[in-house]
Structure 1
Amino acid sequence: MSLPLLGPEKVLATAKAFGIYQEGKTIAELAESLADLLLEDMSRAVPAPHRTITAMAPPERVETWSGLDIIPISSYHEVFEALHRTGTGTDGDWENLMKQLLRCGLAFAWNSVVGPSIAADCLYGPPKRSQIETNFASIKKEYVNIALHGHSPVLPSALVQAGRDPELVELARAQGAAGIRLYGICCSGLSALYRYGEVHPLSNALGAELIMGTGALDVWVADLQDIYPGIMDVAACFHTKVVTTSDSCRLPGAIHMAIDHQHGNMSAALGQAKEIVRLAIRNYPARQQENVYIPEVSLEAEVGFSVENITQAFGSLDELAGLIKNGRIKGIVNLVGCNNPKVVYEQAILQVADILLANDIIVLTNGCASFPLLKMGYCSPKALAKAGPGLQGVLGARSLPPVWHMGECLDNARASGLFRALADKSGQPLTRMPVAFASPEWSNEKGVGAALSFRLMGLNSYHCIPAPVQGSDKVAGFFASDTQELLGSVMVVVTDPRGLGEKIVADLEQRRNQIGWTPNIKGVNK
């Protein structure tokens, strides 16, 4: 598959971090060497140093993980080993199984999150801060409308390119449409959004059926992960065609136009994207206008935050670290995760955010948890009215929102990168910094993996729903508290969202006091 490298600065910076930069090598040559290293860390079978962890992880953490003997050989090896150990009559020592869990957690963090994040920025370019329109009313019924649902950036990037094609735009107009418009469901839309600005975010996975229920979507493109079969039942009520594009994720009754299992037709991605757009154009006249209902609700939001452009916004990370140290900013929390039907849809995320902002704590967000924050205006400078006086002063002077949207769930790598950079600037280990991970509504394997990734970094994880490990008191205890001695972090569960927010505030203040940055607060602003 021939793609231009739209992130040459990322290629250079990462090549230097990995120690493979050589004068005279082209960007393409460096990118090829970098890709080989990332793939080797993903798939090696013979033990060897894990290059991504060595290059990118804090040295203090690498020392801790090495001492625990949990540095992974590779993702493929550790997942295969986990399957082997849990087979009949194999590993009967629960503590040894938990050690393997931690190896898988590191493999998830550094191979499945950090590695692809690096690769995506090199291929498709880094995020760009931009203003976008979100929520239902960003759907325009006079356009050919295409939804992008899933997590792979390959087809969405090709679909953006196809949607710009003058020939296809003219074909849409010939059918009576004003043009072609793309919308984001879950993470595929978010990754395309902050790079191209032409994809309008509408919903996370749990709310996908509500979007399809507008009757205004002509084609729904589903690639992989967080795609529930129920969307087929909703699509059958309207004219919407569902197209699956991954061999890993097929839906009964959907049109399958996919990259094959051997990836032998990767070079045809743009052609496939154009055919999907043509399908949407052909389907546009079949839309039944009496079945179309689009709630007139929309808001502006700012997206595309990264370590690089946050640094630019403050002049330097030293300035941001200084504001945290002097207490005008009390801390930063990565508020992310999927949604869970066991609690009121999206409510917990907003209630936790309200408590954090009122107490001068910046919120980072990405993925499914970011949608309520986008739709309810938290990603706009206007939301500073919800913040405490410290954040109002610091962020208001820079026209920044109190919630910084960093992209798709893969972009937890950006949050951990920011945390590490601020710890370095502050001269403190991550285990002492006033930063944390919160996933109030976590519900699936990725949510556990994401929480574990930050726990391994020495940061507490905070939730409103217990982890599904109650069958074993020992394993439940390991998840909840035993990792404090091993990793310097614990899992905190408070079922009341506001109570969870207050617990985060108190714990971050305790970390600040231990460093000696601020005196005790009188109470939590609710």
Structure 2
Amino acid sequence: MLTRDEIHKRTMTEDGQLMLSKADRDQVETVWDRYQAQQPQCGFCELGLSCRNCIMGPCRIDPFGEGPQRGVCGADADIIVARNLGRMIAAGAASHSDHGRDLVEVLRRVGEGQAPGYSIRNEAKLKQLAAEFGVSVDSREPAAVALDLAHALEEEYGTRRQALTLLARAPEKRRAIWQKLGITPRGIDRETSEMLHRTHMGVDNDWVSILLHGFRNALSDGWGGSLIATEVSDILFGTPQPTQSQVNIGVLKADQVNILVHGHNPVVSEMISQAAHDEDLLALARSHGAQGINLAGLCCTGNELLMRRGIAMAGNHLSTELALVTGAVEMMLVDYQCIMPALGSVAACYHTKMISTSDKAHFPGMEHREFHPDNAARLAEDLVKDAIENFGRRGEVTIPVESVSATGGFSVESIVGALGGTPTPLIQAIKAGKIRGAGGMVGCNNPRIKQDYGHVTLARRLIENDI
């Protein structure tokens, strides 16, 4: 059994500590158990000094200078570390940017009239983005504009131009630096593909050159795929505004059908949200003994719902298994990214139905039900019905704490609006020394560090230093 001290070393949250204790009693393996079982982890890999990029390897470099200093191909430590980092950047950029591509597909299908349940929620942003891409908006129906804009956005992925269109939003001085360094991103998919090429054996063997292309690859995501995903999400689902909600595992309800959505793509969660508020389905839930349907989010999909709909957030990456340990979750739906393959095994210990929804993300122990623009509304209703029918199969339910209040929805538009329509007050406050700057905290938890400790500590330090 885990001691109190061991549990407190794993997470600083009260709900996390209580559910870790229950998982231990239930003999349910969690991410912390698997992390502990991996100790000690490979020191060569931790330092980035192992290489499996070709079949002459695997190779590794001795960091103390006593063993091999070059791989079979002759790559030294600097080259191998740069290659490994470059490939990690490529994988991350590909994931974020592919998310954007999926949203562009939905936008295109809305324009074609083939996406029942989806619509244009923000016509002003549709017109604004269309203008940036040279798409005519005068006297045209939103659907027609959406279709042409979708085609223009799709071209950003494979463009052969010298720069991505949305780079025009960056300050001119910043763009000049990128141009001088030769890292202006030219196409979203192009930079990821080129990174994989450069880091193959016998191609780019200058670590500075590899890392510079890493910057270019990252920029292709930040000013390409990820930015497109944000803008198209606002067009389809509305631009977030500050909203009050509740967070932590306490958002689960003992007397309601609990459905959790987990992943990154709002295309799925938005349809589930609509179905969960359907009066016929609410009546069906009551007929099965539940008081209602409670939808909550996890990770990035949870943030999407919180920002736009005020829907409660059950937790982050390291909370996903713990939410299932409550025994209160009828269904968890996942799309892609940050979804541990262990979730199916944890759910099997309880009554929870696990549903995977993306054509590119299949998981062991999960039922696969693919969402597409033409079937999403109907499939969402079917899945909510399945969750309702699962309500009666519950065993023991443990919801450890009360939820706490949170405010989300701070989009660029809402922040600028709060400043009176211009960032000038913020700039003046920085110039006057009232605050030293503004920072965004991005990223999730890692079992290497106590859950939430890094985020909370960093936030406190920033606030203490007027940031």
Does the 8 A contact of 1:149 with 1:189 survive in 2? Answer: yes
Does the 8 A contact of 1:324 with 1:330 survive in 2? Answer: yes
Distance 1:93 1:319 in 2: 45
Distance 1:123 1:295 in 2: 36
Distance 1:204 1:43 in 2: 33
Cα deviation digits, residues 420-462 of structure 1 (max 9, x gap): xxxxxxxxxxxxxxxxxxxxxxxxxxxxxxxxxxxxxxxxxxx
Counterpart residue type for residue 360 of structure 2? S
Give the SS at the match of 2:204.
Answer: coil
1:18, distance to aligned residue in structure 2 (A)? 3.9
Does the 8 A contact of 2:242 with 2:409 survive in 1? Answer: yes
Cα deviation digits, residues 153-175 of structure 1 (max 9, x gap): 11101101111111111111110
Larger radius of gyration: 2
Distance 1:89 1:317, change over 3 A: closer
Partner of 1:134: 247
Distance 2:137 2:394 in 1: 56
Does the 8 A contact of 1:38 with 1:52 survive in 2? Answer: no
Give the SS at the match of 2:369.
Answer: strand
Partner of 1:326: 432
Partner of 2:335: 223
Distance 1:65 1:253 in 2: 46
Cα deviation digits, residues 258-313 of structure 1 (max 9, x gap): 13xxxxx430011111111011011000011xx21101232111110122222232
Partner of 1:191: 304
Give the SS at the match of 1:202.
Answer: strand
Cα deviation digits, residues 77-117 of structure 1 (max 9, x gap): 22222222222322222222223212211111122211111
Counterpart residue type for residue 211 of structure 2? M
Partner of 1:115: 228
1:48, distance to aligned residue in structure 2 (A)? 4.6
Distance 1:143 1:22 in 2: 46
Task: Within 5 Å, give how 1:260-409 maps onto structure 2.
Answer: 265-288=372-395, 291-315=396-420, 316-361=422-467
Find the partner of 1:249 among 348, 352, 361: 361
Cα deviation digits, residues 368-418 of structure 1 (max 9, x gap): xxxxxxxxxxxxxxxxxxxxxxxxxxxxxxxxxxxxxxxxxxxxxxxxxxx
Distance 2:419 2:199 in 1: 49
Find the partner of 1:53 among 141, 159, 167: 167
Give the SS at the match of 2:346.
Answer: helix
Distance 1:12 1:47 in 2: 23
1:21, distance to aligned residue in structure 2 (A)? 4.7
Give the SS at the match of 1:294.
Answer: coil
Does the 8 A contact of 2:163 with 2:185 survive in 1? Answer: no
Give the SS at the match of 1:334.
Answer: coil
Distance 2:339 2:299 in 1: 9
Say whether residues 1:35 and 2:150 are aligned partners.
yes
Counterpart residue type for residue 335 of structure 1? M
Does the 8 A contact of 1:132 with 1:200 survive in 2? Answer: yes
How many residue pairs get matched? 351
Distance 1:25 1:218, change over 3 A: same
1:4, distance to aligned residue in structure 2 (A)? 1.1
Distance 2:321 2:387 in 1: 19
Say whether residues 1:200 and 2:312 are aligned partners.
yes
Counterpart residue type for residue 306 of structure 2? L
List runs of 5+ in structure 2 lacking aligned partners: 1-113
Distance 2:445 2:388 in 1: 33
1:24, distance to aligned residue in structure 2 (A)? 2.3
Does the 8 A contact of 2:163 with 2:187 survive in 1? Answer: no
After the TM superposition, which of the residue ranges 23-32 and 179-188 deviates more from structure 2? Answer: 23-32
Give the SS at the match of 2:362.
Answer: coil
1:180, distance to aligned residue in structure 2 (A)? 0.8
Give the SS at the match of 1:132.
Answer: strand
Partner of 1:12: 127
Which one scores higher on RCO, CA 8 angstroms, separation ≥ 6?
A: 2
1:52, distance to aligned residue in structure 2 (A)? 1.8
Give the SS at the match of 1:218.
Answer: strand
Say whether residues 1:71 and 2:178 are aligned partners.
no
Does the 8 A contact of 2:248 with 2:404 survive in 1? Answer: yes
Distance 1:61 1:312 in 2: 25
Distance 1:216 1:208 in 2: 13
1:331, distance to aligned residue in structure 2 (A)? 1.5
Does the 8 A contact of 2:248 with 2:313 survive in 1? Answer: yes
Counterpart residue type for residue 323 of structure 1? A
Partner of 2:325: 213
Distance 1:71 1:37 in 2: 20
Distance 2:413 2:165 in 1: 23
Give % identity. Answer: 36
1:217, distance to aligned residue in structure 2 (A)? 0.3
What root-mean-square deviation, in Å, do the aligned CA atoms of Structure 1 and Structure 2 show? 1.7
Partner of 1:514: none
Distance 1:275 1:330, change over 3 A: same
1:19, distance to aligned residue in structure 2 (A)? 4.5
Find the partner of 1:89 among 202, 210, 230: 202
Distance 1:95 1:317, change over 3 A: closer
Say whether residues 1:25 and 2:140 are aligned partners.
yes
Give the SS at the match of 1:215.
Answer: coil
List runs of 5+ in structure 1 lacking aligned partners: 260-264, 362-526
Q: So what's the TM-score if we normalise by structure 1?
A: 0.64
After superposing on structure 2, the runs of 4+ consecutive aligned residues of structure 1 that deviate more than 3 Å are 16-22, 46-49
Distance 1:122 1:29 in 2: 14
Does the 8 A contact of 2:356 with 2:366 survive in 1? Answer: yes
Cα deviation digits, residues 43-73 of structure 1 (max 9, x gap): 23x345421213x222222222122222223
Cα deviation digits, residues 219-252 of structure 1 (max 9, x gap): 0101100000121221111100100001222111
Partner of 1:466: none
Counterpart residue type for residue 12 of structure 1? K
Partner of 2:273: 160
Does the 8 A contact of 2:256 with 2:294 survive in 1? Answer: yes
1:20, distance to aligned residue in structure 2 (A)? 3.7
Partner of 1:100: 213
Give the SS at the match of 2:253.
Answer: coil
Counterpart residue type for residue 308 of structure 1? E
Does the 8 A contact of 2:250 with 2:402 survive in 1? Answer: yes
